[in-house]
């Protein structure tokens, strides 16, 4: 959930930047937040700087004799010339695009349904149920996926069998294995989108909706011009969080397919892990991680630039 905090911070800095006040330092407040700042620097910034320095060194864990040798941009050159890096990055970005679109659209749909429902008990139950997939450990989700997508005994093929569809070779076929990973991710994270959208819908002023209803009976028009603007900050935050999330998505695919069959589900994080902890080339693995971080920052800035609008600015 640190991601959520980061994203909210980003959104807030954008807001405060617009109405900047003269700087006055509140020493007491500073003293009180100092311990957490120090902790953050230690566990956030230090490893980052360490990885940055590693990325310029030869650092093989299983041949430690010449470790620490400065090699300039050699590790970066290795990464950029590695076709496997590009193919796993491409796979990850394709998956990101698909899950973002599906999760945002489905999330809004679920949120609007709950928001317009009048039964409080149903609302409460659905909201609680939505939290369950998010709260599950990704590694466990992957293990569940192994059972659900098993060709012979799996739940998925059983359900498909009920409507007369032949057994699907989910985990043994390169394309279907990727589909299984995407479906699992959608299952786990659509509820998160729904919850964010639900809280955004809650801040839409009631009188504005009422006023709009006087002008038009078309509920799509009301959604598009009255409600959607209030959803945009939430959507942007969701996109930033999920982008970082998918770029480092590891546990679930690792337990579900381990990147196989072949390289068909090798997402970028699996590849970085493989480089670091199977091939034990920490230098190259760090270079990959640094490049990913840069990509993540660029995407986050792009999202804010293109999607982030406060309702007032519409």
Partner 1 sequence: MRKGFVFLLVLALVLVGLAGTSAEPSRAQGTWSLAEAAKPYAGTEIRAFFLERPGYVAAQQMIPEFEQITGIKVTWDVTPYENSLEKQTLDFTGGTAQFDVVLVDVVWIGNFAANGWIVPLEKFYKNPALADPELNLDGFFPILLESFGTWDGVIYGLPFDNYSGLLYYNKCMLQEAGFERPPDTWEELLNVYGPALTKDGKYAFALQSRRGETQSADSFMRVIWPFGGSLLKDDFTSNLSSPESLAGLKFRQDLMRYMPPDIVAFDHDETVQALAQGQVAMITEWSAFYATLANPATSRITDCLGITVEPAGPAGRKPALGGFSLAVNSSSSEAKQAAAWLFIQWITSEAKAKEYAERGGVSGRRSVYQDPEMIAKFPHYPALAESWEKYGNAVFRPRFPEWPALSDVIAQFGTEMMLGSISVEEGVARIEAQMATILRDYTAGRLPKLQ
Q: Would you tell me which residues interact with partner 1 (CB under 8 A)?
A: 61-64, 150-153, 169-174, 177, 257-263, 274, 277-280
Q: How far is the CB of 97 from partner 1 (least distance, A)?
A: 24
CA nearest neighbour of 248 among 190, 294, 292, 185:
292
Q: Please say which residue, 133 or 174, places its beta carbon nearer to partner 1.
A: 174
Q: How far is the CB of 258 from partner 1 (least distance, A)?
A: 5
In 230-252, which positions are buried (b, 16+ CB within 10 angstroms) versus exposed (e)? bbbbbbbbbbbbbbbbbbbbbbb
Q: Please say which residue, 238 or 271, places its beta carbon nearer to partner 1.
A: 271
Q: How far is the CB of 183 from partner 1 (least distance, A)?
A: 16
CA nearest neighbour of 265 among 123, 142, 127:
142
Q: How far is the CB of 181 from partner 1 (least distance, A)?
A: 13
How far is 264 from 270, CA to CA, in rounded Å?
A: 12
Q: How far is the CB of 179 from partner 1 (least distance, A)?
A: 13
Q: Please say which residue, 114 or 256, places its beta carbon nearer to partner 1.
A: 256
Q: How many CB atoms lie within 10 A of CB 76?
A: 19
Residue 150 has which token pair? 């098993």
How far is 287 from 295, CA to CA, in rounded Å?
A: 12
Q: Please say which residue, 85 or 230, places its beta carbon nearer to partner 1.
A: 85
Q: Please say which residue, 223 or 280, places its beta carbon nearer to partner 1.
A: 280
How far is 186 from 96, CA to CA, in rounded Å?
A: 11
């Amino acid at each position: 959930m640190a991601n959520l905090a980061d994203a909210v911070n980003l959104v807030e800095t954008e807001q405060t930047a617009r109405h900047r006040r003269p700087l006055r330092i509140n020493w007491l407040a500073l003293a009180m937040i100092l311990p957490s700042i120090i902790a953050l620097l230690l566990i956030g910034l230090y490893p980052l700087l360490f990885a940055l320095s590693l990325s310029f060194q030869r650092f093989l864990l299983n041949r430690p004799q010449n470790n620490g040798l400065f090699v300039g941009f050699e590790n970066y050159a290795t990464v950029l010339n590695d076709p496997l890096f590009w193919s796993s990055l491409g796979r990850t970005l394709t998956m990101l695009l698909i899950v973002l679109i599906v999760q945002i659209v489905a999330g809004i749909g679920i949120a609007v349904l709950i928001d317009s429902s009048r039964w409080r008990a149903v609302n409460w139950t659905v909201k609680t149920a939505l939290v369950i997939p998010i709260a599950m450990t990704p590694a466990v989700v992957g293990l569940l996926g192994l059972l659900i997508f098993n060709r012979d005994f799996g739940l998925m093929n059983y359900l498909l069998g009920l409507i007369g569809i032949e057994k699907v070779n989910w985990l043994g076929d390169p394309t279907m294995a990727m589909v299984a990973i995407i479906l699992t991710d959608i299952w786990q994270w659509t509820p998160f989108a729904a919850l964010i959208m639900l809280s955004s819908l809650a801040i839409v002023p009631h009188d504005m909706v009422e006023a709009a209803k006087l002008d038009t009976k078309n509920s799509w028009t009301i959604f598009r011009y009255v409600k959607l603007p209030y959803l945009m900050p939430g959507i942007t935050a969701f996109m930033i969080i999920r982008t970082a999330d998918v770029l480092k998505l590891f546990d679930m695919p690792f337990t579900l397919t381990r990147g196989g069959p072949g390289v068909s589900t090798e997402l970028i994080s699996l590849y970085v892990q493989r480089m670091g902890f199977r091939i034990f080339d920490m230098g190259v693995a760090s270079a990959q991680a640094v490049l990913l971080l840069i990509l993540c920052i660029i995407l986050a800035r792009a999202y804010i630039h293109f999607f982030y609008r406060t309702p007032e600015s519409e």
